[in-house]
Amino acid sequence: MGLFSKATTDPDRWVIVGLGNPGPEYAETRHNAGAMVVHLIAGRIGERFRSHKSGCMVAEGRLGLSKVALARPMSYMNLSGRPVRLLMDFYKVPLERLVVVHDEMDIGFGEVRIKNGGGTAGHNGLKSLASNLSSKDFTRVRVGVGRPRNDAVDHVLDRFSSSERKVLDDLLADAADAVEAVITDGVDRAMTEINDRRRR
């Protein structure tokens, strides 16, 4: 049976969504940090992304013993909720098995935090997800891009600075490790381990 050919209830699968904007002009911007992380995870597990009828690019594989669907919506950030909802409907995965990876201005550059539920803090991707899923109760892996001195929109749509690029690989790897911790250890334990570790 081919990839994506069967949509049955699959409560043991996780859906991991990396938020970003489509197109090469956005590929290396701060707003695409989430998308960069899911691409890194796909490389780690040796899987490739393919088009899916939900409007996401999807790579299926395993993290540890768990089946995962890594996803990147191909819509713009503020419209990303609908393709994610369609993907969740396709897999029939419960909301507690959704992990969203996204850029976060409210924590410093280089920091990673895990959060379960909560507000959207003005993040257009999170707002679209919350609206389309009718809930904010999903797990987030927050990739710190720092708060700008000037315009927030310009900041997230800008490419990483030369100094940031020197440590970007480590930041993305830390975020990918955080996702894996959620899958293998559970959300509560992963929050304790990752969030406390980053404060040391």
Q: Which residues are catalytic?
A: 31
DSSP output for the chain: --TT------TT-EEEEE----SGGGTTBGGGHHHHHHHHHHHHHT---EE-TTSEEEEEEEETTEEEEEEEESS-GGGTHHHHHHHHHHHT--GGGEEEEEEETTS-TT-EEEEES---TT-HHHHHHHHHHT---SEEEEEE----SS-HHHHHHSBPPHHHHHHHHHHHHHHHHHHHHHHHH-HHHHHHHHHHHHH-
